[in-house]
Each structure stands twice: as C-alpha cells, then as structure tokens.
C-alpha cells in the first residue's frame, strides 16, 4: 500500500511538485467552476481556455518557453477575448455564447499556427497538454499565488459574485457592484485558466474547473457545500490521476481529467441530488 499510494511522492521530487501543483489548482479552480456553473457558462469556460493560446504563443515566439512571457501573453489574450466577445454581443444581435464560439475557433487556430511557426511538435504538445510532471519552482509559485489570490478575492467579494451569478438584474437594481463583480469574475476565470495552462495545457485546463463542479452538483444543493465538494473532487482527482499516471505510464494531464470525469460519471449515477439511481428507485405514494 505504501508503494502504491505514498512511495511515488516520497521518493521523487517531481511527483511532490506535481502534487502541490494539482492541489493548488483544485483549491483555486473548484470555487470558480461552481460560479461558472451557476452562470450557465460551462462551455464558455472552454472557449476562454483556448483564448489564452494566441497570447501564450506570442510569448513563446518572443522568449521561448519562458514562464513570464507566456503568462503575460495568456492573460492579455484571455481578457481581450472575454471582453471582445462581450462587446460584440452587446453591439450586435449575436448572443454571447455564439460570439465566444467564434473567438474560440479563431484563437485556437491562430495559437496553433503561431507555435508551429517556430516550435517543434514537442513544443506544441507542451502548450496544448501541459507538463504537470515538469513544474519548476517559478511555475509552482505562480500556480500557488493564483490560488491564494483567488481565495482572498472570493472571501472578500463572495456575496456580490454569487448574486451577480444567479440574479444580475437584482444586483444592478440594489447596487452598483454588478459591473465590477462581472469584471472580477472574468479576472478570476482567466487567471485560473492561465495557472491551469502551465500544468495541464490549454486543452485540459478547464477540466479542473468544470468537471468537479458538475460532479458536486449531484451531491448537494447548498452553495457552501457545493464549493467544498467541488474542491474535494478536484484535489482527489489530481492525486489519483498522478498515481495512475505514475503506475501505468500514461500522460499525467489526461489521466487527471479522466479521473475527474470518472468522478462525474459516478456522481451522475449515485448522487443523492438528481442522480439516475435515485430517480429509478420506486417511491412510496403519499398517504392520505
């Protein structure tokens, strides 16, 4: 049992770094994923994850696999796409989800093209799928800092962020915090996606946000518990995914997301809040 569960983390420094990285990602991305689910923006998160790619690619062209350059590029591109899609939706008759889809497709194609101009297939795979087993001190510090900042912002602005997620019209009617809260929410999404990008790549970063949040929805209706379950699922998925990757030799990023997907599937089947098994069980009729 020691060799199966503890040995890989006790013996190898790269596994300990990866463990800290995925735990930090789970703690920061879990609550943000819950807010995105409340806003019905689950697929929009995927679009925003790919929006990071052109900026990260520009940073790669300018400085290679440089943490600072790719992070700044990803942040700029993420904010540009999020705000640009919102502006198009407000200035035209196009809905925001369609605008995000258009920006997502353009961003993905442009990012792949830019990386391919200078880099190799290995560099492209690094950008698309991440290298969670190769996190260095600087990258680990960035991920932990993003998670810490996320928790601090959520602690300070939790109520307006939740209100802006579930009933933005009511928040605008009683306060001027609606627009600032929306911008803060977008900032949390983009920064956590940038942190996830360095570990899991642009194609898988959003998985640590949305799959745990979707799984948690089948276990509780209470918001605080929903956040707690989401964080728990994200962290456990990260640890189990790393162990599966180590013992089987499969890539670590996909292993982590597939474990989170397994947790979602189990939640759909056995969750006490709307799970399939509970729905199929016969119910007693109300007695007069």
pLDDT tens-digit map of 92-106 = 877 777 777 788 788
In the chain, what are the domains?
Answer: 8-201 (1.10.3470.10)
Question: CA–CA separation, 38 vs 124, rounded Å?
Answer: 33
Q: What is the mean pLDDT of residues 191-200?
A: 89
Residue 243: the pLDDT is: 94
pLDDT > 90: percent of the chain: 36
Task: Round the CA-based radius of gyration of the chain to a whole number and report it.
Answer: 20
Residue 5 has pLDDT above 70, yes or no: yes
Q: What is the mean pLDDT of residues 264-268?
A: 96
Q: What is the mean pLDDT of residues 228-253?
A: 93
Question: CA–CA separation, 49 vs 43, rounded Å?
Answer: 10
pLDDT tens column, 44-65: 777 778 778 888 888 888 887 7
Question: CA–CA separation, 246 vs 216, rounded Å?
Answer: 27
Residue 140: the pLDDT is: 92
Residue 66: the pLDDT is: 82
Residue 285: the pLDDT is: 53
C-alpha triplet 37, 132, 216: angle, nearest 5°? 25
HSE toward the beta carbon, residue 187, CA cutoff 13 A: 14
Residue 288: the pLDDT is: 45
pTM over 0.75: yes
Q: What is the mean pLDDT of residues 178-196?
A: 86
Please report which confidence band the pLDDT of residue 225 belongs to, taking 50, 70 and 90 as the band edges: very high
Q: What is the mean pLDDT of residues 9-31?
A: 93
Residue 58: the pLDDT is: 85
pLDDT > 70: percent of the chain: 95
Question: CA–CA separation, 20 vs 26, rounded Å?
Answer: 10
């Amino acid at each position: 049992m020691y060799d199966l569960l503890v040995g890989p983390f006790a013996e190898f420094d790269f596994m300990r770094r990866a463990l800290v990285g995925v735990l930090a990602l789970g703690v920061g991305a879990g609550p943000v994923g819950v807010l995105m689910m409340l806003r019905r923006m689950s697929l929009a998160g995927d679009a925003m994850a790919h929006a990071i790619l052109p900026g990260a690619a520009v940073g790669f062209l300018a400085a290679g696999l440089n943490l600072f350059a790719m992070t700044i590029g990803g942040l700029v591109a993420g904010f540009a796409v999020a705000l640009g899609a919102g502006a198009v939706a407000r200035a035209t008759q196009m809905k925001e989800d369609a605008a995000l889809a258009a920006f997502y497709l353009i961003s993905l194609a442009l990012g792949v093209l830019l990386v391919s101009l200078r880099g190799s297939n290995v560099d492209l795979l690094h950008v698309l799928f991440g290298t969670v087993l190769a996190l260095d001190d600087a990258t680990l510090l960035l991920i932990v800092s993003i998670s810490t900042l996320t928790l601090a912002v959520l602690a300070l602005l939790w109520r307006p962020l939740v209100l802006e997620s579930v009933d933005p019209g009511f928040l605008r009617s009683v306060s001027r915090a609606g627009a600032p809260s929306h911008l803060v929410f977008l900032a949390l999404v983009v920064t956590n996606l940038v942190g996830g990008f360095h570990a899991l790549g642009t194609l898988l970063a959003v998985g640590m946000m949305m799959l745990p949040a979707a799984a948690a929805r089948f276990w509780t209706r209470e918001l605080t518990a929903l956040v707690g379950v989401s964080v728990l699922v994200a962290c456990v998925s990260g640890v189990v995914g790393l162990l599966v990757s180590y013992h089987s030799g499969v890539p670590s990023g996909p292993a982590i997301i597939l474990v989170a997907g397994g947790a979602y599937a189990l939640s759909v089947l056995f969750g006490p809040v709307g799970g399939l098994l509970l729905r199929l069980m016969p119910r007693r009729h109300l007695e007069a």
